[in-house]
Chains A and B, each alone.
Chain A
């Protein structure tokens, strides 16, 4: 068990944002968190990333309460890939990915070795000398992914580490969306756990092993993607009539708007 959330509740100024949310992530599992805007997805991400500390209920990482980890220890075990990072100054791609190694107390040569490996895994070696401010949206996203992976990479690679994705595809066109997620999905084979916040239902059916559906701060459904992503659940969660259909030539079910 990599990450487990039990009875997780968060409230801001007395109004409850999350209530009794249960779910868990195993090593090598891709879990999608889906729900309407304001359903509590971002709050959930903040709680499991350690950014919010005043929650009730339990979050455990590797069997230990999240609050037992120091901020540095946590930073070597989980990385958060934000929607976008704004850079005012032109750092090179290599410098940006090197920022990911900041938690590791190591020689620069070792850091450089790690980031070079990340760049070759993600096929962005050709970008390394370029300025981050001059890249396209898709390229930036890859660089940020490389930075996040560099952050949690150690001698065992990515095994038992956790990657949190906040709307990873919102800034990307269709081609790059597919590529980025395919890349991440591949990494779960090496034991990386992924929690992906999204509102793209077809992303969930295509890539997630499990799905957590949030509605008004409640965990409406959690389980294998195929059982969670059904028409009744989607109607209840999003208030939209859909059909979940299997199309020949596509390996996963597809959610189409039926209204």
Chain B
């Protein structure tokens, strides 16, 4: 190009390309550090979570479990108890916690992109509530379905998925006015949705028998107590599909941050992207809720943290959120088990205790819930 050049251009150009590489390097280093330290911390926190519990604290348990896998001979008599606890209770619990933490965080990040607002969160908008009502309804009305059918493990996540999808569609329907998405309307719709959900849960607990009632209560506060390999296996396909669908939209999510028109100008089929994301979030949230109940604010806090660490680019925000989400939720679980030991605090209370003040902080920082779109 011959035009629009100045006499100093070659010089400028040279300086800037050096600058470009420096900038990229610094950014890449941050991202790499997040991935490495994130993975390392995931392992460490996982090991701690396996070692700690009401049965006793044993920091050699993770190593014992690992060596037990490679050992053919039966373990010593004195060890079988703790090994069983580790293998059948603590390990699936840690795996489940990490999956749920990762998925909820990615879903939060996806919703914030979808709605173009950093305040969007599955629990705030009533998506988790819808999932919990559907799961509770299956428990109360499902009757014998759980004992008689082989696919029973998938019934609960499927029902919760349907519930979250339905509430998601209602939220979107209410939030959009004349093609324009208003965050105020969206949050109000979330309040209404949550009210509806708690009404539904209230009614279901009223008519439920004792065992169902316990389950419903556990849904409203969130708990990892129900963890087993069976639950993990039921959860996994939903969560895998959800994360894959969301991660595939990482570029589109970046472009959506500039608005739907901009994304469309850049060749994005906005409608398809939105539908995919709605489906993916419903899958992830539904499955998580079916396994652990409502865990609030994870999807709000984690992406925000990751943005502070490595910036808003969805290509790093999504995997970063998955890692940090897994770590934070596992850490919260350890806290919930230790703080009132030998009893357990419901995990939803721990995350809300961190998340609710954070939400208030976000509100205060913004001054008001003004629309940014």
Contact = CB atoms under 8 A, between A and B. Distances in A.
B1 A117 contact: yes
Nearest to A86: B372
Interface of B: 1, 3-6, 9, 12-13, 15-17, 19-20, 22-23, 116-118, 251, 254-255, 257-259, 261-262, 264-269, 307, 311-313, 372-373
Interface of A: 49-51, 71-72, 74-76, 79-80, 82, 85-92, 94-95, 99-100, 102-103, 112, 116-117, 119-123, 125-126, 128-129, 151, 157, 183, 186-187, 189-190
A217 to B, nearest CB: 20
A53 B283 CA distance: 32
24 contacts: A50-B264, A51-B265, A74-B267, A75-B265, A80-B265, A86-B372, A87-B257, A88-B118, A88-B312, A88-B372, A89-B257, A90-B311, A100-B266, A103-B266, A116-B13, A116-B16, A119-B16, A120-B9, A120-B12, A120-B16, A122-B4, A128-B23, A157-B1, A187-B3
Nearest to A95: B313
B16 A128 contact: yes
B228 to A, nearest CB: 40
A91 B257 CA distance: 10
A80 to B, nearest CB: 5
Contacts of B269: 71
At the interface, is chain A mostly helix, strand, loop or mixed?
mixed
B16 A103 contact: no
Given A90-B311, A190-B3, A71 B262 contact: no
B266 to A, nearest CB: 5
Residue in A116, A117, A129 whose Cβ sees the most chain B Cβ within 10 Å:
A129
B313 A99 contact: no
Given A91-B311, A94-B23, A99-B255, A86 B267 contact: no
B20 A128 contact: yes
B312 A71 contact: no
Given A116-B16, A121-B1, A123-B4, A99 B266 contact: yes
Nearest to A117: B1
B372 A190 contact: no
A145 to B, nearest CB: 11
A197 B264 CA distance: 19
Given A91-B311, A99-B258, A76 B267 contact: yes
Given A89-B307, A123-B12, A129 B19 contact: yes
B20 A112 contact: yes
B312 A75 contact: no
Nearest to A182: B4
Given A85-B258, A88-B257, A103 B13 contact: no
B12 A129 contact: no
A186 B118 contact: no
A49 B267 CA distance: 11
A186 B257 contact: no
Nearest to A115: B20
B12 A125 contact: yes
Contacts of A90: 311-312
Nearest to B259: A85
Contacts of B22: 129
Contacts of B6: 123
A128 B22 CA distance: 11
Contacts of B116: 88
